[in-house]
Amino acid sequence: MAREVVRQKASGCRYEIDLASGVITVLERKGDARRTGSGGKRTATLDSVAELDETELEDLIELILAEGASGPTVDALAQIDHPRAQAMVDEASRHHLSIDVRLAAAEAQHARGRLTDLEAILVRELRLLDRPTDGLARALRLAEANPTPAVRQALLWASWNQTECAPECARLVLRLTRGNEAVATSSAVLASLGLHHSYFERKAAFDALCATLGMTLDPS
């Protein structure tokens, strides 16, 4: 969890973990100096969960699980090479409420070579996107890294869906297919795909998007 926070929010920093109190401290790097605590005692830094013994690993897993199911907690569990952590990742892949949780699990399983067909899951989850806070950022990142025809078609499907995610899905498929210039010249089209526009406004915008892309929506 600490490593994921540093990667996403504090690049270049280091962290300290106090398992007993459940506290993770993120520290700014200053050269090669280490933080010195009260009384001049040097505080050790854990750069990897590989340095933890079995009991500490189990404590860390319980600490992560106490946060509840979320994409970041699955990301954290995926970093731990322990049967219980990996079992929790597998369980997360079947989470029935959160797209971000399922996608995080699929991403972790794929990275470990335990899932070969990431595309099928990504396509399914793109079509299910609803709220930007549940999986949109992860889905777009994975789609950009795997811009297959099926993924682009799923992005087009998500662009047509009447959700808050539609404009960003349209933006990505447009950039992947036609480049940044096409995105810049299609700002009005992208805005009109928003949730609160009328059916007729969204249909006109979607038709314009398809024409620019040279794609048609596959309803299957």
Q: Please name the helix (run of DSSP H) or strand (run of DSSP E) that holds residue 88, with its range, or none.
A: helix 83-92
Position 43 scores a pLDDT of: 36
Helix, strand and coil content of the chain, in percent to the nearest 5, comes to: 60, 5, 35
Integer-rounded Cα radius of gyration of the chain: 21
Tokens of 204: 């006109």
Position 119 scores a pLDDT of: 97
Position 45 scores a pLDDT of: 37
Position 37 scores a pLDDT of: 39
Position 213 scores a pLDDT of: 96
Q: Do residues 131 and 101 lie in contact, with contact meaning Cβ atoms separated by under 8 Å? A: no
Position 22 scores a pLDDT of: 61
Residue spans per domain, the chain: 129-215
Position 34 scores a pLDDT of: 38
Predicted TM-score (pTM) of the model is 0.76
Tokens of 182: 């096409």
Average pLDDT, consecutive stretches of 10 residues, N- to C-terminus, the chain (220 residues) = 68 70 68 40 44 79 87 91 92 95 96 93 96 95 96 97 96 96 95 94 97 92
